[in-house]
Amino acid sequence: MTHKYRAKLGMAALAGLLLAGQAAVSPAAAATPGAQAPAASAVAYSELSILPGGTTNRSFGINLNGQVAGDSGTASGKIRAVLWNEAGEPTDLGTLPGDDSSTAFSVNNTDTAVIGRSIGTVERAVRWDHNRRITELPGRPGAATTRAYHVNDSRVTVGFSITADGNWHAMRWGADARPTELPALPGDPSAGATWINNLGVSVGASSTAEGRNRAVRWGADGRVTELPALPGHGDSAVTAVNDAGVMVGGSSVTASSPTKAVVWTRGGAVRELPTFPGDTGSYALALAENGVAVGYSVTPAGKHRPVVWKTDGTVHALPFGGPGAGDAYAVQNGVAVGVVTESGAPSRAGVWRR
């Protein structure tokens, strides 16, 4: 798959991360000319605690209970998967035996199942249960990288596995951790999955041998369907899908050209979401059930700014402490989480509350 889509997956919630629920971003509002606004009103910014001795952390997923999944640096200099409780207190989730680093990308609403990766000599997909017991989610045989990006309320999980030939394979794991490969589009050598809703519908991208990404949706039965890019565009990917079947992601002319944030209806019609005024591109990474989407907009200098798209289709910047860059990766109940890097400072797990 192309470097551009890999970058999206590497962020999770494309990954991934990747990566989400959504109910009703209005296609009409998304396409309304001039549906842009300069800043989110009445939004408070804060940062989550770092594990003792660490200097950096990141947040990638949030559930309806206010628990946040991500990672944090430690006193030993390692990165460990973290679950923050409703009070913002972090718990180190640990790693698979023999590994030294991990990241959590998603936490579900029903039984606090957390999924992500554990890293040693290879990168392995994992799931932590409500007792923080860790289970490997097996990838393709011999894969050096397997990553889990999103888990639904039935503990069904999606992600990808990279084989020695460099091809990506979209994966789905059942509640019993058994793996199933989700097919790429006919003729494509690679695919990656970023999100799964509570009806078992998964989304992501399929990639041609030439490196062109095509937005796809897999039904609960595993059958793959291509979704359209914006008119004149040849590269696209879906990052999130909600229980109503609405999807968000990005579309671009080529894999190397600026990306525009988009929303797809349940029927598959695509509409562009507005880029922040004066910026050159954008990407929608997640969508709440009330129709609010989050992601980033790209400044003329190439920096990411965290943004939110309201249900009326307008885009607003999410504030943070000072000059720098940021991405919003997940949103639930009016609370968004993401990663902020202020100028000259380590990355921090950011939280925005309306």
Query: What confidence score (pLDDT) does residue 313 get?
Result: 86
Backbone angles phi, psi at 178, to 5 degrees: -75, 135
The per-residue pLDDT for range 262-287, each reduced to its tens digit, is: 999 999 999 999 999 999 999 999 99
Query: What confidence score (pLDDT) does residue 323 get?
Result: 83
At residue 148, the 3 state secondary structure works out as strand
Cα separation, 76 vs 85, in Å, equals 23
Q: Which helix (H) or strand (E) holds 8?
A: helix 3-11
Query: What confidence score (pLDDT) does residue 39 get?
Result: 54
Residue spans of the chain under pLDDT 50: 2-37
Cα 107 to Cα 2, 134, 137, 235, 267: the distances in Å are 28, 14, 15, 29, 28
Query: What confidence score (pLDDT) does residue 189 get?
Result: 97
Query: What confidence score (pLDDT) does residue 322 get?
Result: 77
Query: What confidence score (pLDDT) does residue 28 get?
Result: 28
Cα separation, 224 vs 218, in Å, equals 4
pTM for this one? Answer: 0.90
Q: What are residue 90's DSSP bridge partners?
A: 84
